Structure 1
């Protein structure tokens, strides 16, 4: 029997795979405003940006994330970090701070589910 979280985990895995190589604009169009954007360099000195999105962020009337998180939810949020180089997504990481169980994977899939079918 497949667990209830299977479709949500599949959505997370699919998004992480499909978003690599896409233009960074897909994030604002499908996910919303990032929680933060920071510049960094790889170990080889290549400039990149990190776009962070969190399930603790509030949603606007259009359903997209807005930049302000709910402060009491950040410690159990699902956070996605998109590494961007030359305007293209080159890597996607996720951190489910709530752990895996009790429906927490739904919070992860809710962050990126709109990007899967873009």
Structure 2
């Protein structure tokens, strides 16, 4: 498992990049999505996504499901700051409520709906 994005890239580097992305693409949401350590789902090849703000969380979930080659009966849960976001909400509204100071929205995915709060330790290798 690759190291968490926050450990690979300093806050300052993320902040500069996030602000640059938001200036260049104001209608897009910079997302970092990472697998939870306790998850049995494979790791995505790519962690960083730039998604339309009007895309719903459900639609983004479908994109990630395709990238992970999940079957319709396979479970996939998203967590933002330890909470499962509403699937009917837009990525733009989720970003407004939950983005970090570096201008990125961090999402953790798992095959379990455990309500524990995920943090950098949970993303580290077993």
Q: Which has the higher contact order (CA 8 A, sep 6+)?
A: 2
Under a length normalisation based on structure 2, what TM-score does the superposition of the two structures give? 0.28
Instruction: Judging by fraction of residues, say which structure has more strand.
Output: 1
Under a length normalisation based on structure 1, what TM-score does the superposition of the two structures give? 0.29
